[in-house]
Amino acid sequence: MKRLAAIVAAVALATSACGASDVDSADAGGIYTTIDGAKQIDATAPINPFNPAGSTFMGYDAMALAWPKNGLTDANAFYPGIAASWTATPDQGEVVIHLQPKARWSDGKPVTSEDVRTSIGLAYTQGGSAYTVNAGAAGAAADIQVLDGKTIKITQGANRSNAFLRNVLSTVVVPAHVYGSLLPPGFWETLRAARGSGPAAEKAKGQITGLAQRVIAFAPREDVSAGPFVLERINPGAALLKKNPYFYDAARIQPDRVKVLNYTGNEQIWNYLVSGKLDSAPFTAVPAAVMSRIKQTPGNEIRKGYSPVAASLAFNQARKPYDNVHVRRALAYLIDRAQVTRVASPEAGTPAVTTSGIHASAAAAWLGGGGLAALEPYKVDAAKADRELKAAGMVKRAGTWRMPDGSPWKVSIHVPASFSDWVAAAKSITSQLNDHGISASVVTSADYILYLDELAAGRYDMGFWLMGLGPSPYNIFQRLYGSANGWQLLAGRLTHVPPGQQGNWMGGPETVAGVNPGELTNRLNLATPEEQKRIVGTLAKLTNEQLPVIQLYDYVNTQFVNTSRYTGWPAADSEVLRLPAGVWMQLGMIKKK
């Protein structure tokens, strides 16, 4: 689900981007044309992967140590990238990275352990993940040691996390001979001081994080890439990348160039696909009529796979009557999830089988068929909904449901206006509720950033919320029992803040039915695989009973490929569908037709 702003399609931009001379200059491998699903092109942005709008493209010129396999339950399964292999102790206390022996930068210099160490230092200035200066943060690196030119060891701090290996392998690597000067003399001594406590540590933390903007704004004169491609030129319409002859596995890379077209909205991507311009495109929400046109274009094919994301309707339990579980259950019995999915995301969603907190594909793996079947499915049942509303004390007068004191009950569902599938889903839900005598309406926010700000401030009774973000079970349930619901983890200590404070907009109770779901979610960070399954089972059952959200539809990763120019595409349901096409090339999948 991308931003879905209503933009007038600008097909002319695609035809002019980079110019016809690019095609004329192509060699036998041809030009592979795509878009970057993670961002739009800003030709003025620096060639810097630390810049959110940077003119680098993950999997093409920007490289990570490794690429996630995106399995249903194993968050630590990766394909090699700059790292050829790695080993970790059972508790992930130490991770040893072995770099590709033939890896070189596009200027011919070898990729070394010092490049990785410098990249980690730069990551500390940005904070988060494994690289944070917050003392005691779970899953934070405590030491980085260069063992030799191609081997580096990274040690986890005392407050361990099962996400450490995944976060380390996701490290983006940049050349030390280009970026190294951004780290001032004594940086590593300052970092060690920042891990302590007291005034000196606070000063050191400020010095580290104070480098963030300098790193973000850094603008190298040219792209120095260790990936299969290197940026040749860029303009507002497109970026053109040429093959990097020094890439460690260059023989696998078939295209001579990659053209990344810019887009200003989903409508423009649809027009690219209808006109057959794209060799591949990542997930884009597409209405049924447009999908039919896309399928009619010669060579266009659809590849569908697992996407560990679900759309939900989330409640602010600090607001009445949504503090009453019977009201939440009544709404679950009234919402026809299949109808919502047909209206909102017919090509890229499947109706949720129930509310478990987990995408259905992963739920079957975590819970087993029996565990999933044991959950209440909340099939549409008006009679059950009425019983639940009466149990909550709601009253019905003249065919309209009211609050227990007889005052009007006005249901407002908030969504960002730019997410067309959410808007359509919300309209379908309100229509269904109105048909049952519940006065309901849709309220849109001007943009997604404003929506998130107002959601976090607790200004909505209910709103749409992404959930089920796997494959890590901690990440899955952290969406429901993390900071948005009051649980805060700082320096290894978990606390629960009252509704309306520090981003707690869900407002659920700290304990329910004798269970503290935030504590259980936090334990997933350290639990063994067997313990994780037990905890996931408990949290899924609790979520199904208490309904902090109503799970509406599970997303399907719907990708587009065109077989006219290249072959070797990932098969349907392939785990690599969630990786950039540049990684497909690294895996030897894309061949010139």
Q: Structure tokens of 186?
A: 């004594």
11-60+227-299+563-592 adopts what CATH topology? Answer: D-Maltodextrin-Binding Protein; domain 2 (3.40.190)
**Phi/psi at 27 (nearest 5 deg)?**
-95, -160
pTM: 0.84
Q: Which amino acid does the sequence have at 123?
A: A
Instruction: Give the span between the Cα atoms of 386 and 399, in whole angstroms.
Output: 12
Alpha carbon separation from 465 to 280, 310, 482, 550 (Å, rounded): 28, 8, 13, 10
Instruction: Give the span between the Cα atoms of 545 and 355, in whole angstroms.
Output: 9
Instruction: Give the span between the Cα atoms of 579 and 560, in whole angstroms.
Output: 13
pLDDT in the model for residue 4: 35
Instruction: Give the span between the Cα atoms of 345 and 304, in whole angstroms.
Output: 14
- Write down the CATH superfamily of domain 63-217: Dipeptide-binding Protein; Domain 1 (3.90.76.10)
DSSP annotation string for 244-261: -TT-TTGGG---SEEEEE
Instruction: Give the span between the Cα atoms of 115 and 174, in whole angstroms.
Output: 6
Instruction: Give the span between the Cα atoms of 111 and 459, in whole angstroms.
Output: 50
pLDDT in the model for residue 27: 59
> What are the residue ranges spanned by the domains of the chain?
11-60+227-299+563-592, 63-217, 307-555
pLDDT in the model for residue 73: 84
Instruction: Give the span between the Cα atoms of 117 and 175, in whole angstroms.
Output: 10
Q: What length does the chain have?
A: 593
Per-residue pLDDT tens digits of the chain, which is 593 residues long: 443 332 222 222 233 333 333 433 445 789 999 999 889 999 999 999 999 999 999 999 999 999 999 888 888 999 999 999 999 999 899 999 999 999 999 999 999 999 999 999 999 999 888 998 886 777 899 999 999 999 999 999 988 888 899 999 999 999 999 999 999 999 999 999 998 889 999 999 999 999 999 999 999 999 999 999 999 999 999 999 999 999 999 999 999 999 999 998 888 999 999 999 999 999 887 888 899 999 999 999 999 998 889 999 999 999 999 999 999 999 999 999 999 999 998 888 999 999 999 999 999 999 998 999 999 999 999 999 999 999 999 999 999 999 999 999 999 999 999 888 899 999 999 999 999 999 999 999 988 889 999 999 999 999 999 999 988 999 999 999 999 999 998 767 889 999 999 999 999 999 998 999 999 999 998 888 899 999 999 999 999 999 999 999 999 998 999 999 999 999 999 989 999 999 999 999 999 98
Q: Structure tokens of 576?
A: 């690599």
307-555 adopts what CATH topology? Answer: Dipeptide-binding Protein; domain 3 (3.10.105)
Are 226 and 172 within 8 A, CB to CB? no
Instruction: Give the span between the Cα atoms of 379 and 341, in whole angstroms.
Output: 14
Q: Structure tokens of 431?
A: 């229509």
Rg (CA), the chain: 25
CB-count burial class (<10 Å; 0-12, 13-18, 19+) for 319: middle
Are 168 and 65 within 8 A, CB to CB? yes
Q: Structure tokens of 290?
A: 């447009």
Which pairing describes strands 63-64 and 439-445: parallel, antiparallel, or unpaired?
A: unpaired
Strand stretches in 192-299, DSSP E:
229-235, 238-243, 257-261, 280-281
Instruction: Give the span between the Cα atoms of 484 and 501, in whole angstroms.
Output: 10
Domains 11-60+227-299+563-592 and 63-217 agree in fold: no
Instruction: Give the span between the Cα atoms of 586 and 33, in whole angstroms.
Output: 16
Percent of the chain that is helix, strand, coil (3-state, to 5): 35, 25, 45
Instruction: Give the span between the Cα atoms of 268 and 285, in whole angstroms.
Output: 12
Instruction: Give the span between the Cα atoms of 87 and 99, in whole angstroms.
Output: 12
- Give CA torsion, residues 216, 222, 226, 229, to 10 deg: 110
**Which letter does DSSP use for residue 568 in this model?**
-
Instruction: Give the span between the Cα atoms of 593 and 588, in whole angstroms.
Output: 14
Instruction: Give the span between the Cα atoms of 160 and 180, in whole angstroms.
Output: 29
Q: Which residues lie closer than 8 Å to 248 by C-beta, 6 or more apart?
A: 100, 101, 102, 103, 104, 226
